[in-house]
Amino acid sequence: MSESEAPEYNHLHLFSEGQVLWVTIDNPPINLITKSLLVDLIQLSYWLENDTEHIVVVFQSANPNFFLAHFDVTALLGDQTDQQNSEDQDLNIFDGLCERLRVLPKITMCKISGRIGGGGSEIAMACDMRFAALGKTKMNQMEVPIGIIPGGGGTQRLPSLVGYSRAAELILGGIDLDAQTGDDWGYFTRALPPEELDDYVEWLALRIASFDPAAVKGAKSSLLNSVPSLKNGLINESQIFSDLCYSQDGQRSLRRFLELGGQTVEGELRISDLSAEVAKE
């Protein structure tokens, strides 16, 4: 990737290794999806649509304890002013981002060595593959305990990965999903010992990138045809999310989440317990 072609972002670092593009997420202290990081990810998704140099994109984190956290709760407080639509006027901007990542004519992988949750999990579920570190990686959809629901495709994509009942357990319970269970259930493509994670993901990414790009793109396009459209479900989910989020009870719960330590390193490392404490108010 030449310097003239390399996009510049506030919270993303890009490195090209042949036809593999490594995208390192770096938004300390927990890789929270702030508005600034969301803008970076949206701009990257548009750039990737037109990029012809890379066939595989690997998302990773600069923080060993957090891959990608939930959306910034402070941005959800107050009036409903930023619920803009994407180019597809029926989808909100977050769903638009996830859908672009899902249908990219490239293979997308997430190398997850720490916590992932909320909107971060929803972005990862839109990618083709998710690889986890045994004993370190945990996923959590913490929305229901704090008075809302997943609003970026969580209720739509998680059931297709792990099944309806398991998705219900994770979403309604707001409990952690560890790497081994996530591997057994199908949320993670594969869980590996931490010392093997980097090498395996790099090996697989380079292997896929070494094949005929037309065959790789054709196989992904055909695979996508096996997945039913989620558009109506995404629209309905987004409406329920907004109704709950901007209700009086929803706003109170979100503030309570922050008061108890949400969006701090200590609080996010115990997100399952912390979110349950919000519900006890």
Distance CA 24, CA 134 (A): 20
Q: How far is CA 59 from CA 21, 51, 112, 182, 244, in A?
A: 9, 16, 8, 19, 31
For residue 86, the Cα-to-chain-centroid distance in whole angstroms is: 17
- Domains along the chain with CATH numbers: 12-279 (3.90.226.10)
Amino acid at 117: G
Residue 247: pLDDT over 70 = yes
* Contact predicate 254/77, CB 8 Å: yes
**The pLDDT of residue 193:** 98
pLDDT band (50, 70, 90) for residue 4: very low
pLDDT digits (tens, 9 = 90+) for 102-130: 999 999 999 999 999 999 999 999 999 99
Distance CA 189, CA 132 (A): 8
Distance CA 253, CA 259 (A): 10
Residue 11: pLDDT over 60 = yes
Residue 86: pLDDT over 60 = no
Q: How far is CA 143 from CA 15, 69, 86, 213, 253, in A?
A: 33, 12, 23, 39, 10
Distance CA 120, CA 43 (A): 17
Structure tokens at 222: 């055909």
As a whole number, mean pLDDT of residues 263-273 equals: 97
Residues 6+ apart with CB under 8 A from 222: none
**The pLDDT of residue 72:** 97
DSSP conformation letters of 124-174: HHHSSEEEEETTT-EEE--TGGGT----SSHHHHHHHHH-HHHHHHHHHHT
As a whole number, mean pLDDT of residues 144-156 equals: 97
